[in-house]
């Protein structure tokens, strides 16, 4: 599907998946650093003619509104990972950034089941025709 979309000159919505909480011991500064790393590829994806998407862009405001007190609490778990899984219903591809992340690995597994294209390097994402 994604290759056909690209061949037709349409943009892709690409979920950027990688470590956010993983490896941080829930340290907010390290989590922010991980988010900045995810965001660092958003503009290049946009400039290739596509729409970048990061699950945390949607999940974090909702987690806050739900009253989550800390990463991993009940309200966090209700929203954080399900958001990415719902976004995958609308995405055409995933860019999986390096680094240990159970959540990103699950995103890739779901994306593969859906037949979405998985990229492991920004350079592999084709520019919109």
Q: Which domains does the chain carry? A: 2-123 (3.40.50.10400)
Burial of 94 (0-12, 13-18, 19+ CB in 10 A): buried
Please say whether the beta carbons of 49 and 27 come within 8 A.
Answer: no
Q: What are the CA-CA distances from residue 107 to residues 2, 7, 34, 80, 129 (Å)?
A: 17, 25, 17, 12, 27
- State residue 8's pLDDT score: 57
Q: What is the pLDDT of residue 3?
A: 47
As a whole number of angstroms, the distance between CA 86 and CA 39 comes to 20
Residue 113 has pLDDT above 60, yes or no: yes
Which pLDDT score, from 0 to 100, does residue 1 have? 42
Helix (H) / strand (E) containing 51: strand 51-53
pLDDT interval class at 76 (50, 70, 90): very high
Over 80: is that where the pLDDT of 5 sits? no
Whole-number pLDDT of residue 28: 95
The 10 Å CB-count burial string (b at 16+, else e) for 41-79 is: bbeebeebbbebbbbbbbbbebbeeeebeebeeebbeeb
pTM: 0.91
**How far is it, in rounded angstroms, from Cα 2 to Cα 65?**
34
């Amino acid at each position: 599907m994604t290759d056909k979309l690209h061949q037709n000159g349409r943009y892709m919505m690409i979920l950027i998946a990688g470590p956010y909480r993983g490896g941080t011991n829930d340290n907010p500064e390290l989590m922010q650093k991980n988010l900045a790393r995810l965001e660092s590829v958003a503009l290049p994806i946009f400039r290739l003619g596509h729409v970048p998407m990061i699950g945390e862009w949607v999940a974090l405001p909702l987690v806050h509104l739900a009253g989550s007190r800390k990463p991993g609490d009940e309200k966090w778990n209700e929203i954080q990972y399900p958001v990415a899984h719902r976004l995958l219903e609308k995405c055409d591809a995933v860019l999986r950034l390096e680094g240990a992340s159970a959540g990103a690995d699950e995103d890739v597994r779901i994306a593969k089941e859906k037949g979405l294209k998985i990229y492991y390097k920004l350079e592999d994402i084709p520019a919109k025709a």
